[in-house]
Structure 1
Amino acid sequence: MSGAAMTYSVMPSPIGPLTLVARDGTLVAVLMEGHRRPPVAESAWGDRVDDAHPDATRQLREYFDGGRTDFQLPLAPEGTDFQRAVWAALQDIEYGHTTSYGELALRVGRPGASRAVGAAVGRNPISIVVPCHRVIGADGTLTGYAGGEDRKRYLLDMERDGRLL
């Protein structure tokens, strides 16, 4: 799949501009401005188009407007088998809920590998859609987030406040 051309677009959001990178209609990255360790190099983004992935743009807008709690999008995150297993487990964390790195390590069958899980979470290329912001420290503290702790807090507060009870 790496031979296909990529395109990208930038959409506004309450946490700043989001860059959506797609390959043949499949989302490969959602990056925030100032994203630490971006998993997809800017030189690989391809051509900028008005809307590289209209479904992702629409669903992200619905999420930020409080009308969407999960995403239904074709995804193609690139990473190791272990990283992809961690990213799949992230998608099982329900809207408005959090889990710890240790709990996530248990979910992927690697108890005691919370540091490795943390590294994989930090390399998640599809922010928000693959909800790495829902992973917190075992003591409840907000730990590391490629988009910055303020954005992580915003997303968690937004989900908590908008959660359907």
Structure 2
Amino acid sequence: MSLQTAFYKTPIGTAKIIGDENGIQSITVLDEDFSGNLDTVNTKVPYYLQDCITQLEQYFSGERVNFDLKLNPQGTTFQKKVWEELLNIPFNKTRTYLEQSKALGDVKAIRAVASANGKNPIWIIIPCHRVIGSDGSLTGYAGGIWRKKWLLAHENPVKQQSLF
């Protein structure tokens, strides 16, 4: 079966989801608005992409902290190893690029790890947004720093409350 595409409107843009019966190959968030009627598109989503949309809806509504989807990202062996390790970063936690390199067993691979992190084809579900600079800065995110900041704030259970 050929790859299928579905679109889902999120608070940070329209998610473009590509996959087939072998799993989700990519999720990217588009900067431009999707010109089609998303409600119409979503009713025709292949069954193997429907669960992804359901789980993304749950994530954005605050009901889901872990994803349970069949993933099939396309990349080199090294990239896939980096992406697998990203899945070990818990919800509402961050890890530095150095810590990520250490977890992969090679401190000297920090640049290669950062590069592979930036090529993650399955945004949000493979949580590359949870990797930050050693000084705590929100360095690099293919979707833009504002999206990384939004996702990390969304995952933080401590919401700023007004004093008045």
TM range (shorter): 0.7 to 0.9
Residue equivalent to 2:45: 51
Shift of 1:91: 0.3
| CA–CA separation in structure 2 for the residues paired with 1:83 and 1:63 | 25
Contact 1:71 1:129 (8 Å CA) reproduced: yes
Residue equivalent to 2:130: 134
Residues 1:27 and 2:24 are matched in the alignment: yes
| CA–CA separation in structure 1 for the residues paired with 2:158 and 2:66 | 13
Q: Report 1 or 2 for greater relative contact order, CA contacts < 8 Å, sequence distance ≥ 6.
A: 1
Residues 1:64 and 2:60 are matched in the alignment: yes
Contact 2:22 2:72 (8 Å CA) reproduced: no
| CA–CA separation in structure 2 for the residues paired with 1:57 and 1:30 | 11
Residue equivalent to 2:113: 117
For structure 1, the 5+ residue unaligned runs are 36-47
Shift of 1:162: 6.5
Residue equivalent to 1:42: none
Contact 2:14 2:31 (8 Å CA) reproduced: no
**CA RMSD in angstroms, aligned pairs only:** 1.8
TM-score by length of 2: 0.85
Letter in structure 1 aligned against 2:66: D
Determine which structure has more spread, i.e. the larger CA radius of gyration: 2
For structure 2, the 5+ residue unaligned runs are 33-40, 160-164
TM-score by length of 1: 0.85
> Within 5 A, what are the aligned runs for 1:99-114?
99-114=95-110
